[in-house]
Structure 1
């Protein structure tokens, strides 16, 4: 099993939204490295740290899991979508997505500042490549973040 951190802006789609719907396609990834993580490495059952970004207090707020194999991101084909990509088509999709399913909220959010202050997490991708919307997480990082959110 792999571990991931996936970022979402809470005013667009929050952990509460995921809890309400149960499962959701993770659309709109338009970074090739993040796309490649989904396309090449994510597997059904992989665990996900759900991270609220671009907000007053960025933080890991919950846990989800990968619920599907990667497939073409349909938002790229929709001219009305803000994620529309005219160079992508159903016959030759440029972008991928996976479905994720809600597991739980953390008892308390694990803020970006607390992650940066934790010596055990100083090599975490979130600290070093913070702009990437999908990031691998080691098992040790996973355990540390969960302990901090308990």
Structure 2
């Protein structure tokens, strides 16, 4: 069974174009326990919508797949990284992530405004006021509708 997710990144930090050029990447630097727990639930073959946040406009710009799960986030051990966690150790790693692979860039962004027109905040968590999570689940029904919008 394929699960669907939405994963946010600021395009200035890492964009769908960057992922397309690289082919795949470790989705590192997530430092929210709820988002980390969602990352821990991901399995190879799951699909994730790539969402550009803090952009003009913000919205879903493409699709990626999970190719490896339960990957140790290496940035937690690097004292020079903004994501360094001094409470984490190789024996007791606190932060796991996934490796994602580029699937497609949508021909047009599905803007936050369009998402608000198509879905309620109960259907799509990214629409909830004050939701700052960078990783969240998406139901199959909503995922199918997002893909249909992207293809139209």
Alignment TM-score, normalising by the size of structure 2: 0.93
Q: Contact 2:71 / 2:99 at 8 angstroms: preserved in 1? A: no
Moved more, 75-84 or 138-147: 138-147
- After superposing on structure 2, the runs of 4+ consecutive aligned residues of structure 1 that deviate more than 2 Å are none
Q: Deviations over 1:58-97 (max 9, x none)?
A: 1100000001021211101000101011111111111111
For structure 1, list consecutive stretches of 5 or more residues without a partner in the other structure: none
SS at match of 2:68: coil
Q: What residue number does 1:82 align with? A: 82
Shift of 1:127: 1.1
- Alignment RMSD: 1.0
SS at match of 2:54: coil
For structure 2, list consecutive stretches of 5 or more residues without a partner in the other structure: none
Structure 2 Cα separation of the partners of residues 71 and 103 of structure 1: 20
1:28 aligns with 2:29: yes
Q: Contact 1:51 / 1:62 at 8 angstroms: preserved in 2? A: yes
1:63 aligns with 2:63: yes
Structure 2 Cα separation of the partners of residues 136 and 18 of structure 1: 20
Structure 1 Cα separation of the partners of residues 88 and 114 of structure 2: 39
SS at match of 1:69: strand
Q: Contact 1:72 / 1:90 at 8 angstroms: preserved in 2? A: no
Alignment TM-score, normalising by the size of structure 1: 0.94
Structure 2 Cα separation of the partners of residues 127 and 69 of structure 1: 26
1:45 aligns with 2:45: yes
Structure 1 Cα separation of the partners of residues 113 and 89 of structure 2: 40
Structure 2 Cα separation of the partners of residues 86 and 36 of structure 1: 20
Q: What residue number does 1:138 align with? A: 139
Structure 1 Cα separation of the partners of residues 90 and 67 of structure 2: 22
